[in-house]
Amino acid sequence: MANQALANQSSSQVMRQERESLSRAMLAATTRGNAAPAALVLEDGTAFVGTSCGAAGEATGEICFNTSLEGYLEVITDPSYAGQIVTMTYPQIGNYGVNLDDTQSAKPALRGLVVNNMCRTPSNWRSAQSLPDFLVEHNIVAIEGIDTRALVRHIRDHGAQKAIISATGTVDLDDLAAKVAASPSIVGINLAETVSCDAPYAFNELPESHAFAVAAPLKPRHRIVAYDCGVKRSILQGLVRAGCDVQVVPWNTSAEEVLAQNPDGVFLSNGPGDPDAVEETFTQVEKLLGKVPVFGICLGHQMISLACGAQIEKLKFGHRGGNQPVMNLISGRVEITAQNHGFGLVYPSLGELIPEESGGFSEPVDDLRFWVRNGVAPVVRNPRFGRIRLTHVNLNDGTCEGIQLLDVPAFSVQYHPEASPGPTDAHYLFTAFVRLMDGDPDYLDIDVSKDRLAGWVFGAEKEAANA
């Protein structure tokens, strides 16, 4: 009986080995191939094991997630992701490949990429290469084959934290846990200087491959200076299309140098990391406010806030994706917005409420959805720049998404207006900036529903034929 049991066990092992060998052979014959093992380990010890779908190596950074259903290339090349490992919540990434005209910077700034399933054989008439090939070309470590739903739930429950991706061919979870514990945090680090330009340059780049969808730009009629704190190309393109002659300058350019160019306006771009660490920018913004019209987005919004002496907080897991609902307190409309940030303005820290301009309310609130429910755009008195109005509120968590300085020509929003990737609801902000430079006191009073389609040519020929 013992001999028979040993024989059965040996036979079972042989069959298992044959099945594993057959499975490897079948996988090797597909486009996926036999990818090397990879692992993702979080600071709190949570670990996921999958396979490599990018470059070989290891990468540490802050783990975050993006909820966009498309636009993975724009996400991967967004400089605002410097220092971070990005998890895409949509299950399959890479379907339509890579078109370099859609990239947002010369090279990716993120540390690593996490997906559930990576497509290696894209199908799209605009595709020039596969996403895995693009990641390898730019030395970006990536992992697939893990439960991204479980990972995202964990981040939502436990907050942003450090993590490491290893795609070296071997998996030692204890060793990886030690490495992530020893890695630096992005808090207190100036990441904007790592992705900004080295010298000023004029920008007028509009890809011809976008002409099938986007109309020709308006004739330039305003000269602006744009601070590059990690700016996306599509945001600069949005300014050009709105009729701006754009001169881009590095993140630490002095206010005196900017004003010497006699611009019609100053634009403060998006960018990565902790805004408190970008002191050389917001101290210059403090000198610019009141001297020239200013428009800021994302990190630029935080630069204006810090210039006003406000407090910035680190959000539990940030806002990243193309489906963030924001209430516009001026128009009363909800905007679906594209966002990418992990820090936010504490609106009450700007100053005390002015009751007569805030619906009679005098007590500050932490959850700004209070103002949504009451239909009020409150105003505070800032010690540095006078009255500041709350204009936009995130409907998911009640955080500040936009402000308007009422006594100096400046406004800002926490999100991205250019829809790369994401919806076009916030396109009107480019129009508002032009109107601010025109001297229109009601520059934010715009019909968002009409402006959101401005510049797009989809269906234009059909509409003309039916006219």
**Which residues lie below 8 Å from residue 73, measured CB to CB, with a gap of 6+?**
98, 99, 102, 103, 131, 134
User: Can you give the pLDDT at residue 292?
Assistant: 98
Strands (E), 395-455: 400-405, 410-413
| 298 in active site | yes
Q: Are 251 and 229 in contact (CB under 8 A)?
A: yes
What angle (nearest 5°) sits at the alpha carbon of residue 117, between those of residues 111 and 118? 65
Cα 100 from Cα 97, distance rounded (Å): 10
Query: pLDDT tens digits, residue range 245-274?
Result: 999 999 999 999 999 999 999 999 999 999
Residue of 301, 319, 416, 427 with catalytic role: 416
Cα 428 from Cα 431, distance rounded (Å): 5
Q: Is 84 annotated as a binding residue?
A: no
Which of these, 47, 223, 55, lies nearest to 136 by C-alpha position? 55
Q: What one-letter code names the amino acid at 433?
A: F
Residue of 197, 298, 308, 400 with catalytic role: 298
| 418 in active site | yes
Percent helix, percent strand, percent coil in the chain, to nearest 5: 30, 30, 40
Strand 161-167 and strand 37-42: pairing?
antiparallel
Task: Tell me the mean pLDDT in the region 356-376.
Answer: 97
User: Can you give the pLDDT at residue 456?
Assistant: 75
| Cis amide bond preceding 217, omega within 30 | no
For residue 57, the number of C-alpha atoms closer than 13 Å in the C-beta half-sphere is 13
Task: Tell me the mean pLDDT in the region 64-79.
Answer: 96
Which band of pLDDT confidence, cut at 50, 70 and 90, is reported for residue 284? very high
User: Bigger pLDDT: 424 or 110?
Assistant: 110
Q: How many CB atoms lie within 10 A of CB 19?
A: 10
- Output the average pLDDT for the chain: 92
CATH tag for 192-451 (out of 1.25.40.10, 2.70.98.40, 3.30.420.40, 3.40.50.880) = 3.40.50.880
| 43 in active site | no
User: Can you give the pLDDT at residue 449?
Assistant: 78
| Token duo for residue 211 | 């002409």
Task: Tell me the mean pLDDT in the region 354-366.
Answer: 97
Query: pLDDT tens digits, residue range 438-447?
Result: 999 999 998 8
Which band of pLDDT confidence, cut at 50, 70 and 90, is reported for residue 217? confident
Q: In the chain, where are the structural domains located?
A: 37-182, 192-451
pLDDT at 102 over 70: yes
User: Can you give the pLDDT at residue 1?
Assistant: 59
Which band of pLDDT confidence, cut at 50, 70 and 90, is reported for residue 320? very high
Task: Tell me the mean pLDDT in the region 67-82.
Answer: 96
Domain 37-182 classification at class level: alpha beta
Task: Tell me the mean pLDDT in the region 80-97.
Answer: 97
Task: Tell me the mean pLDDT in the region 86-90.
Answer: 97
SS3 1: coil
Cα 22 from Cα 28, distance rounded (Å): 10
Q: How many CB atoms lie within 10 A of CB 418?
A: 25
Q: Bridge-partner residues for 48, per DSSP?
A: 40
Query: pLDDT tens digits, residue range 9-31?
Result: 667 777 777 776 665 566 565 66
pLDDT at 289 over 80: yes
User: Can you give the pLDDT at residue 17?
Assistant: 72
User: Can you give the pLDDT at residue 406?
Assistant: 98
Intrachain domains 37-182 and 192-451 with the same fold: no
SS3 338: strand
pLDDT at 467 over 90: no
Q: Is 340 annotated as a binding residue?
A: yes
Q: Is 271 annotated as a binding residue?
A: yes
Q: Is 402 annotated as a binding residue?
A: no
User: Can you give the pLDDT at residue 464?
Assistant: 54
Query: pLDDT tens digits, residue range 111-159?
Result: 999 999 999 999 999 999 999 999 999 999 999 999 999 999 999 999 9
Cα 204 from Cα 236, distance rounded (Å): 8
Q: Which of 75-84, 352-361, 405-414, 456-465 shows the lowest per-residue confidence on average (mean pLDDT)?
A: 456-465
Task: Tell me the mean pLDDT in the region 74-78.
Answer: 97
Q: Is 302 annotated as a binding residue?
A: yes
Q: Is 80 annotated as a binding residue?
A: yes
Alpha-carbon torsion, ordered 87, 149, 184, 285, to 10 deg = 60
| H helices present in 277-337, as ranges | 279-288, 299-307
pLDDT at 2 over 80: no
pLDDT at 460 over 60: no
